Amino acid sequence: MSRVSSLYRLQSTDDEIDRCHIRLREIETALKDTEAVLHCRSILAEAEARLQAARAAAKTAEHTAAAHQAKLEEAQKGLYGGSVRNPKELQDRQSEVESLDRYRPILEDRLLDAMVEVEQAELGGEAASRELARVEALGASKNADLLEEQKQLLERIERLEAEREAASADVPVEDRGVYGHLRDTRGGLAVALLQDDSCAACGLIQANSVRQTIRIGAELTRCRQCGRILYAG
């Protein structure tokens, strides 16, 4: 195996490892909370906040109505209990009872509205919770496939790393240094194929003498334009 073919074999293995790692990162992203799940969680949080506010409002309305009823009963007791005999004071008590009695339905309506709001908020929360569970279940089914693919990719990378170690053993230390530098500075492509007498990476047509040297493969021939190592295949 020539020097260049050894490097090309190493690059092919590295490229496959890179593709596996890219896919692994995509899977890791997909396994995180999806947009649909986040949206459902946001709706559920809003529903829970609405329910909490509705319950607080209903409690306030209930306390207000109860306090008003107690006040009305106290006024009625003072009016009809016989402890007040002064006509003017009796008239004032009568007016107070009537006023309190007129306001009572308003407070009862407010309490009823508050209770209805609590019921609607509870229904909204239950619906949001069911939808979140449904979306999470769909995600779990999808995630099962992704987890299996993730496992296969990790096993594939392990095999490729062993292949890379074997391929690297066939490459001289100096050549590995050149290869590593080119991969770092040429977008991961250190070795370019010679296609139709041109560098497949940058398109520069190679001179006839250069093409002959590339095809022999006994030494590393680099493209004069992009600097990559050329391989005839």
- Supply the range of the domain harboring residue 159: 33-169
Residue at a domain's end among 169, 204, 222: 169
Whether residue 179 is found in the same domain as residue 164: no
Whether residue 81 is found in the same domain as residue 161: yes
Whether residue 81 is found in the same domain as residue 42: yes
Whether residue 107 is found in the same domain as residue 189: no
Whether residue 67 is found in the same domain as residue 129: yes
Whether residue 92 is found in the same domain as residue 193: no
pLDDT at 138: 76
Whether residue 160 is found in the same domain as residue 214: no
pLDDT at 85: 66
Whether residue 216 is found in the same domain as residue 137: no
User: Is the residue at 24 inside a domain?
Assistant: no
> Which residues, other chains included, contact 84 with Cβ-Cβ below 8 Å and sequence gap of 6+?
78, 90, 93
pLDDT at 83: 67
pLDDT at 32: 73
Nearest residue to 54 via CA among 106, 116, 127, 128: 116
In contact, 54 and 121? CB cutoff 8 Å: yes
User: Is the residue at 40 inside a domain?
Assistant: yes
Greatest Cα pair distance in the chain: 130
pTM for the whole structure: 0.56
Whether residue 221 is found in the same domain as residue 148: no
The segments of the chain whose pLDDT lies below 50 read: none
| Whole-Å CA distances, 37 to 42, 51, 129, 141 | 9, 21, 11, 14
How far apart CA 101 and CA 99 sit, in angstroms, is: 5
pLDDT at 101: 84
Structural domain tally of the chain?
A: 2
User: Is the residue at 15 inside a domain?
Assistant: no
pLDDT at 130: 92
